[in-house]
């Protein structure tokens, strides 16, 4: 049976593990100080299920409600860094999940618009945003594959579930000069993280690294 930590001990342990994680991310090549600072300021322990609280700062993905996951911190940092966000950016996130990636983005950009297909996940994420006083996040329950046309265009788009093919609606909602990062299934059925840049006449795609995400599914989830 795991030993339960009191509040003070847990806080000290979390801070120690957070510092170790940030150092590890730097050693793995995440060098953008704004991204690292955002990850240091967001308490990941608030975004993981209680049973996994002691693993909050392990560099690994963890299960959350509705059969989804909270991404590995390295992948969060890497995707965020590749987006090249500044404080003027309007960002669309597809797949709110626990809200951890959303919270990181909120520390870096003007406003985050986030879409989640599970009402349960979105409700819990919004409670976390409220607790942490993150006021530049707007969230809805919707079909993430369709993006958020009413708020388009976006300077940046980040997708946190793997698509089988490039989502046309999301491409249409990206500004010229904008960047989208998403996991995409290749012909062999493996997933690759892809960076898409929109130019005046076309799109440029760059494969970044192999990843493993839950699938991007159309529609709004039916929950019991």
Q: Give the chain's radius of gyration (CA, Å).
A: 17
Q: What is the pLDDT of residues 213-222, one digit of tens each?
A: 999 998 898 8
Per-residue pLDDT at 165 exceeds 90? yes
pTM: 0.91
Edge-to-edge strand ranges of the sheet holding 174-185: 137-141, 111-116, 90-94, 154-159, 174-185, 191-198, 203-211
What span, in angstroms and rounded, lies between the C-alpha atoms of 90 and 109?
A: 7
Residue 7 pLDDT grade (very low, low, confident, very high; cuts 50, 70, 90): low
Q: What is the mean pLDDT of the chain?
A: 92
Of all residues in the chain, the percent with pLDDT exceeding 90 is 85
Q: What is the pLDDT of residues 13-52, one digit of tens each?
A: 778 889 999 999 999 999 999 999 999 999 999 999 989 9
Q: How many domains does the chain have?
A: 1
Write out the residue range of the structural domain in which residue 98 sits: 60-211
Q: What is the pLDDT of residues 167-177, one digit of tens each?
A: 999 999 999 99
What's the CATH number where 85 sits? 3.40.50.150
Is residue 204 included in any domain, yes or no? yes
Is residue 116 included in any domain, yes or no? yes
Q: Which residues are catalytic?
A: 71
């Amino acid at each position: 049976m795991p030993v339960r930590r009191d509040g003070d001990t847990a806080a000290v342990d979390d801070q120690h593990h957070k510092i170790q994680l940030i150092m590890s991310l730097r050693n793995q090549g995440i060098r953008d100080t704004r991204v690292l600072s955002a990850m240091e300021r967001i308490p990941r322990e608030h975004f993981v299920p209680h049973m996994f609280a002691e693993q909050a700062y392990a560099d690994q993905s963890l299960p959350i409600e509705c059969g989804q996951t909270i991404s590995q911190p390295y992948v969060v940092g890497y995707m965020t860094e590749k987006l090249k966000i500044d404080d003027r950016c309007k960002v669309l996130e597809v797949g709110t999940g626990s809200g951890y990636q959303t919270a990181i983005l909120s520390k870096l950009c003007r406003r985050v618009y986030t879409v989640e297909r599970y009402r349960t996940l979105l409700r819990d994420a919004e409670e976390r945003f409220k607790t942490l006083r993150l006021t530049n996040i707007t969230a809805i329950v919707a079909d993430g594959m369709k993006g958020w046309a009413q708020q388009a265009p976006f300077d940046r788009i980040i997708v946190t579930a793997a698509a089988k093919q490039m989502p046309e609606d999301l491409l249409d909602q990206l500004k010229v000069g904008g960047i989208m990062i998403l996991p995409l299934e290749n012909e062999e059925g493996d997933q690759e993280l892809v960076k898409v840049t929109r130019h005046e006449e076309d799109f440029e795609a760059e494969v970044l690294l192999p990843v493993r995400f839950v699938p991007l599914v159309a529609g709004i989830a039916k929950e019991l």
